[in-house]
Amino acid sequence: MASALFTLAEVESALPIVRAAVPPTPQYAWPQLAVRTGADVFVKHENHTPIGAFKVRGGLVYAERLRREQPQVAGIVSATRGNHGQSLAFAAGRAGIAVVIVVPHGNSVEKNAAMRAFGAELIEIGRDFDEAKEHAAKIARQRGYVFTPAFHRDLVIGVATYAYEFFAAVRDLDTVYVPIGLGSGICGVIGIRDALGLATRVVGVVAKNANAYARSFAAGRVIATDTSDTFADGLAVRVPDATALAVIRGGADRIVEVSEPELVEAIGIYFRDTHTLAEGAGAAPLAALIKERDRMRGRQVGLIMTGQNIDRAAMLDVLAGHVPGQPGGVTPHLPV
C-alpha cells in the first residue's frame, strides 16, 4: 500500500518535534502564476525554514529518535548535494550529535559553507551524489558512526508534516506537483494524501538529464542512469531507492520530465512573479505545471517549493536567461 511507510498518528506525533524549530510554512495563491498557467495555483513555501528547504523537518525527527534510542552514539555520517546535509547538521547540532557530511567534488560552494556553519565536518569526495554516498558508508564503518541514508523512514515522517499542513490549509486540491530527489518528499505527500482519504493526484517531477525515477517508474523496477547532469542538484540522483520507488509507483499519477531550460525559466518566473528565490528542484514543479498547463487549466493545483538554496553565480546565469554551467544557452521566454 502506498502509505504503508507511516501512519497518520506517527506524523501527528512528529509535529511537536518539528514545531520546536520550524513554524508552519505558508501556502500562497499567487495571482500572476494563475494568470500564467490558467490554474488556481497554491505554492507551499518550504523555502521558509531555518535551512531554506523542506529537508530540515526530516532531520529533526531522525536526530530526536537517535538521541532518544542511542544516547551514546558517536556521531552520524551521510552524503548530500546540500539540503539533506544542512538538515542533519542543523538537527544533529540541536541534539548534541557529531555529524560528518560527504559531498561530491564541485558541489555548491554556498551549500558547503552553510553545512559547515551549522556544525558539520565536510568531506569532498566522488564525482556525484551516488559516489559520495559510497564513501560516506566507508567513513561510517571506519569511525563507528551511524550511516544516515538520504531516504529513511524517519526522514519521510518528518517531511510528511509539510503535506499535513498543506492538505489541512487548502482543501480540494486536484493535483500536487512534487520534485523527486531520492524520494522522501513525494512519499510523504502520497502517504498523507492516502491517510486522509483524499482524491488529490500526486505528480512527480524530475530533470530530463537525471531521469532515473521516470525510467524506473515506467519500467516497474529500479533503473540506474550513468549520469545525472543537471544544475538542479536536488534532482541529481542516478540510483533510485527501491522503497521510495514502490511508494511512488503505488501512489503517483505520473512523472513529468523537465529540461534544463525549462528549469531556468521556472526559476525566473518565480522571481519575476513572486520575488521568490527558488533553487532548481524548488522550481521544478512550476516547470512541470507550465509544461502541462493546457491539461491543468481551470484546476486547483499545489506546487511544492522545496527550497531556495541556489548559488549566487547560478542565479546570475538564470536571470540572464542561461543554463548555469552552459554559457550562451539563452532560454526562450514563455508567454504570459
Nearest to 323 by CA among 274, 257, 267, 278: 267
Picking from 125, 147, 169, the residue at the C-terminal end of a domain is 147
**Cα–Cα distance between 4 and 107 in angstroms, integer?**
34
Place of cell 538537527: 91
* Contact by Cβ (8 Å): 129, 108: no
For position 118, which CATH number holds?
A: 3.40.50.1100
Instruction: For helices 260-274 and 280-291, give the axis angle rounded to 10 degrees.
Output: 100
What radius of gyration do the chain's Cα atoms show? Answer: 18
Phi, psi of 292 (to 5 degrees): -110, 20
Picking from 83, 113, 147, the residue at the C-terminal end of a domain is 147
Picking from 91, 122, 147, the residue at the C-terminal end of a domain is 147
Q: What is the pTM of this model?
A: 0.93
* Contact by Cβ (8 Å): 35, 270: no
**How many distinct structural domains can be found in the chain?**
2
Q: Is residue 2 in a domain?
A: no
Phi, psi of 326 (to 5 degrees): -130, 75
Measured between alpha carbons, how far is residue 232 from residues 13, 107, 137, 306 in Å?
A: 33, 11, 24, 12
In order along its 336 residues, the chain shows pLDDT tens digits of 444 799 999 999 999 999 999 999 999 999 999 999 999 999 999 999 999 999 999 999 999 999 999 999 999 999 998 899 999 999 999 999 999 999 999 898 899 999 999 999 999 999 888 899 999 999 999 999 999 999 999 999 999 999 999 999 998 999 999 999 999 999 999 999 999 999 999 999 999 999 999 999 999 999 999 888 899 999 999 999 999 999 999 999 999 999 999 999 999 999 999 999 999 999 999 999 999 999 999 999 999 999 999 999 999 999 999 999 885 544 443 333
Read out DSSP for 205-227? EEETTB-HHHHHHHHTS----S-
